[in-house]
Amino acid sequence: MDGRQLSGSVALVTGGSSGIGRAIATRFGAEGASIVVADVDAEGGKETVSMVEAESGDAAFVETDVTDETDVESVVDAVVERYGRLDVLVNNAGGSGGDGALHRIDAEEWSDMLRLNLTSHFLCSQAALPHMVASDGGSMIHVSSVNGLLGIGLTGYSAAKSGLFGFSRVVAAQYGRYGVRSNVICPGTIQSASLARKREREWDEALQEQWFDQYPLGRFGRPEEVADAALFLASDRSSYVTGTELVVDGGLTAGLDQTLLERLYDIDEPPIVE
Q: Could you tell me the CA-to-CA distances from 178 to 2, 19, 132, 135, 214 in Å, in that order? A: 27, 32, 9, 9, 41
Residue 252: strand, helix, or coil: helix
Residue 181: strand, helix, or coil: strand
| Cα torsion through 148, 221, 12, 34, rounded to 10 | -160
- The residue type found at 117 is N
Helical segments of 55-192, H only: 69-83, 107-114, 120-134, 155-175
Cα within 13 Å of Cα(46), Cβ side = 3
In contact, 141 and 234? CB cutoff 8 Å: yes
Rounded Cα gap, residues 4 and 239, in angstroms: 16
In contact, 182 and 142? CB cutoff 8 Å: yes
Catalytic residue among 83, 157, 175, 215: 157
Give the distance from CA 242 to its chain's centroid: 16
In the residue annotation, 157 being an active-site residue is answered as yes
Rounded Cα gap, residues 175 and 263, in angstroms: 48
Active site residue ranges: 157
